[in-house]
Structure 1
């Protein structure tokens, strides 16, 4: 059963990134939204996390509208931008949602 992991906490609290990896499995997806989008253009914060997700077969997404509201630049490589329709598609594709 695949899960959609939604993260909305501030990027200053990065411990949740690695806690998530312990619970996530292949076929899951991670969606950064809300305050969490502020870290998507920071390779120092996310590069290792995104690389580990890729190895585990976990896709990483960021909600484009939240990036625009917060004035965030382009996400680092490995993070896919999605719009609200893409968010709905992710919810439909995954059997459960886990909010961090």
Structure 2
């Protein structure tokens, strides 16, 4: 889902939630839109895009979800990079880093 699709799905879910505040299907639609915003944030991290889409900037929940996804992409990259590095004392012990 691209930013405009996500924003539209989010807006529709908010309107439907005001009409049917206890409907679990509507709440699910809202959470799906927020999840899509987070996934887009992760995708944007891998593409080195560091600003949320313009469509998200005036919706705090969408912006926060996008930032959460971007942070998750960063965390994954750091974790992967750390796993590939030898321990600090490995070089002194003559242990080489795997290729």
Alignment TM-score, normalising by the size of structure 2? 0.29
Structure in which a larger fraction of residues adopt helix: 2
Structure in which a larger fraction of residues adopt strand: 1
Which protein is bigger by CA-based radius of gyration?
2
Q: Which has the higher contact order (CA 8 A, sep 6+)?
A: 1
